[in-house]
Every structure is written in structure tokens, then in C-alpha cells.
Amino acid sequence: MTDQKLLNRITIHPGMAFGKPTIRGLRYSVEWLLETLSSGMSIEEILADYEDLEREDIQAVLLYAARLSQVKRMSAVYRTI
């Protein structure tokens, strides 16, 4: 599947999920899926627990996040822990 076809799976509807990007118009936000993956849940576990999600949805979310991170400069102040 091409990058553009994957990115077409990410949708934004003002009346859904507070206007946050979601997967295929479902109520799964990109943010939620990224947090779920970062918590340690595997792709296979996610697909088993959320049967309306597809592997390509997860690929789309990861590609979307990668594209968002492609910035030239971050202006926020970070502190080290």
C-alpha cells in the first residue's frame, strides 16, 4: 500500500474525537493508538482486541506520526528528568 493510501485512512471530523485525527472515521484517535502501542501492547494484541481495526490502520498511524515529527525546529522548552 502506498504512503498516500495509508494516510487516507487518517480522517479528521470536527464533531468526532474533539476534531482529533482518527482512523477511517472510527472513534479511534491517532493519539489513543500511539499511546496504546507505547504502553507495550503489541500490534497483534490490538488487532485481536479491536476487531474493526486493520494492520494497515496501525501502519497509517505510525506513518502519520512520522510525518508530524518531520519538523526543522522545535521551539518548546524541554527539561531533563
Q: What is the 3-state secondary structure (H, E, C) of 26-40?
A: CCCEHHHHHHHHHCC
- The candidate with the shortest Cα–Cα distance to 57, out of 77, 29, 80, 18, is 29
pLDDT tens, N- to C-terminus, the chain (81 residues): 899 999 999 999 998 889 999 999 999 999 999 999 999 999 999 999 999 999 999 999 999 999 998 877 656 555 555
Buried b or exposed e, range 20-56, using 16+ CB within 10 angstroms = ebbbeeeebbbeebeebbeeeeeeeebeeeeeebeee
For the chain, list the domains and their CATH numbers: 3-68 (1.10.10.10)
pLDDT of residue 70: 86
Numbers of helices and strands, H then E, in the chain: 4, 2
pLDDT of residue 81: 54
pLDDT of residue 80: 58
pLDDT of residue 71: 77
* pTM of this structure: 0.82
